[in-house]
C-alpha cells in the first residue's frame, strides 16, 4: 500500500500528465470477465464491501459506500493527517498534493486542470455556479425542472430574487419518453423567450430519469441560453466527459458512484467562460483568473480528498462501462419481476439511454408524500429493505430503489416479492 512519499510520487506523475499506475487495491478477476450477468465475478466485487448484515440497502443514491480497500486507505489517511497535522498540510498537501489530485480529476473528465476546482460535493459546486452566474439581468428568466435537485432549485430561486429575474419551471411529462422531454423543454423555451439560464440534471435523484443533456444544451445554446448541468448522480456510473454534456458549467460528486469518502466533489467551468461566474464571496486567496476563487470551503476534511486516488484505482479496476452495465442489469432485474403487479407504475422508460441504477415506482392512487413514506417504511419494517421516498414528479410522490455493486439478485428477488404485497 502506498505511503505518503509514494502517494505524492504517483500524484506528481499525474500532474505531469503521465499517470503512474500503482498496484491494484483489490484482488479481482480481470475486468474482461465483468459481464453484467456474470454472478461469479460480481460476487468477488461484492466481497470488497461491508454492508450491514441486518437489512438490504437499496438506497445507494444518497452516497456510495466505499469499497473496503478505499475505506482502509481513508482510515490510514485520517491517522496520518491527525499525527502529522498542519506541517503535512502546509508543506506538502496544500501544494503539490492537492494539485496532483485536481489534475487526476481533470484527466478523468478530459478537462484542463484550470477548469477544475475541488469542492465538498455537487451541491456546493452547483450552488456556487448558480448564485455567482453574472450574465443574468433584471427581467430575464431562469428555468429549471420539477425533477431537479431541491438545493439547486433553491439556489435558482435565490439568483432570481437577487437579480429581479423571473422563474419558469418545466414539468417533466409522464411517461417521460425522449421526444416528449425534448418537446417539453422546447415549448418552455418558446413560452419564455427571455430565458437566460437553464438548469439540467443528468440523472434525476427523484426518479432515476436520465435526461438527454447534450441535445437539450444544444437546443438552449441556439436560443442564447446558458446551461448549468448537475452530474451529481451520473458521474462514476456513466461513462462521459465534460465535452459529452456540452455544458459550460457542471457540478460533480466524487462520493457517490466513484466511491470516495463523503464530502468531496468538484466543479467544472469551461476556460473561456470563467469570467461569467463571479469570484465567490470576494475571495482573494486566488486570482480572479483562477477557478479556485469560485469556491472557498475553509478547512475541510482533507483525508477524504487524500483518498480520492484510491477510489479512482478501485473504480478503474472494474471499469466504468462494466459498472454501468451491471447497475442497469440490476435495475432491469427487479423491474422486470414487478411489471405484473396491479397498479404499479415504473417511472423511468425502458430506453437504456434514459436510466441508470436508480428507478422509482408508485402505486396508482397512492401519490401523496405520506403514502410513499408509508410504503418505504413498510419495505423496511416488514421486509428489511431500505429505500427512500421522493417528492416532486408531476404524477405524485414515489419510492426510489437504487442497487449497488454489492447488491445480489437474491436480494432483488426479495424486493420484487415485497413490492407485490404493497398494493
Q: Which residue has the cell 473504480?
A: 315
> Which pLDDT score is estimated for 259?
97
Residue 18: CB atoms within 10 Å = 8
> Which pLDDT score is estimated for 2?
39
Please, are residues 259 and 64 in contact by the beta-carbon 8 Å criterion? Answer: yes
> Which pLDDT score is estimated for 353?
96
Query: At 116, which helix (H) or strand (E)?
Result: strand 116-119
Distance CA 247, CA 44 (A): 37
> Which pLDDT score is estimated for 175?
86
Average pLDDT per run of 10 along the chain, which is 423 residues long? Answer: 43 40 70 94 96 97 95 95 93 91 96 98 98 98 98 98 98 94 98 98 98 98 98 96 98 97 97 98 95 93 94 95 98 97 96 97 97 98 98 97 98 98 90
The three state secondary structure string of 138-177 is: CCCEEEEECCCCHHHHHHHHHHHHHHCCEEEEECCCCCCC
Distance CA 98, CA 104 (A): 10
Amino acid at each position: 500500500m502506498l505511503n505518503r512519499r509514494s502517494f505524492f510520487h504517483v500524484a506528481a506523475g499525474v500532474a505531469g500528465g503521465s499517470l503512474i499506475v500503482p498496484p491494484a487495491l483489490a484482488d479481482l478477476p480481470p475486468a474482461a470477465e465483468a459481464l453484467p450477468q456474470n454472478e461469479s465475478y460480481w460476487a468477488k466485487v461484492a466481497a470488497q464491501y461491508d454492508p450491514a448484515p441486518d437489512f438490504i440497502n437499496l438506497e445507494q443514491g444518497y452516497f456510495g459506500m466505499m469499497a473496503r480497500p478505499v475505506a482502509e486507505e481513508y482510515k490510514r489517511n485520517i491517522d496520518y493527517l491527525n499525527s502529522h497535522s498542519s506541517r503535512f498540510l502546509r508543506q506538502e498537501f496544500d501544494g503539490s498534493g492537492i494539485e496532483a489530485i485536481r489534475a487526476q480529476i481533470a484527466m478523468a473528465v478530459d478537462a484542463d486542470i484550470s477548469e477544475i476546482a475541488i469542492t465538498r460535493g455537487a451541491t456546493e459546486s452547483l450552488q456556487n455556479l448558480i448564485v455567482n452566474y453574472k450574465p443574468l439581468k433584471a427581467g430575464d428568466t431562469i428555468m429549471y425542472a420539477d425533477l431537479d435537485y431541491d438545493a439547486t432549485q433553491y439556489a435558482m430561486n435565490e439568483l432570481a430574487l437577487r437579480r429581479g429575474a423571473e422563474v419558469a419551471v418545466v414539468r417533466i411529462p409522464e411517461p417521460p419518453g425522449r421526444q416528449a422531454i425534448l418537446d417539453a423543454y422546447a415549448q418552455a423555451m418558446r413560452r419564455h423567450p427571455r430565458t437566460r439560464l437553464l438548469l439540467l440534471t443528468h440523472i434525476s435523484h427523484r426518479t432515476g430519469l436520465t435526461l438527454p443533456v447534450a441535445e437539450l444544451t444544444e437546443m438552449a445554446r441556439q436560443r442564447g441560453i446558458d446551461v448549468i448541468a448537475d452530474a451529481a448522480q451520473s458521474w462514476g456510473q456513466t461513462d462521459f466527459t465534460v465535452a459529452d454534456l456540452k455544458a459550460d458549467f457542471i457540478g460533480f460528486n466524487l462520493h457517490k458512484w466513484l466511491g470516495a469518502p463523503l464530502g468531496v466533489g468538484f466543479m467544472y467551468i469551461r476556460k473561456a467562460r470563467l469570467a461569467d461566474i463571479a469570484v465567490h464571496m470576494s475571495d482573494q486567496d486566488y486570482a480572479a483568473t483562477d477557478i479556485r476563487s469560485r469556491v472557498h470551503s475553509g478547512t475541510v476534511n482533507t483525508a477524504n480528498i487524500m483518498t480520492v486516488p484510491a477510489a479512482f484505482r478501485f473504480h478503474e479496476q472494474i471499469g466504468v462501462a462494466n459498472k454501468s452495465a451491471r447497475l442497469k442489469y440490476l435495475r432491469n432485474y427487479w423491474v422486470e419481476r414487478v411489471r405484473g403487479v396491479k397498479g404499479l407504475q415504473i417511472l423511468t422508460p425502458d430506453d437504456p439511454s434514459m436510466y441508470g441504477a436508480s428507478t422509482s415506482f408508485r402505486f396508482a392512487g397512492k401519490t401523496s408524500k405520506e403514502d410513499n413514506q408509508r410504503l418505504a417504511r413498510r419495505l423496511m419494517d416488514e421486509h428489511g429493505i431500505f429505500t427512500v421516498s421522493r417528492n416532486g414528479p408531476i404524477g405524485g410522490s414515489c419510492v426510489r430503489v437504487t442497487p449497488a455493486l454489492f447488491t445480489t439478485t437474491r436480494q432483488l428477488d426479495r424486493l420484487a416479492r415485497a413490492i407485490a404485497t404493497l398494493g
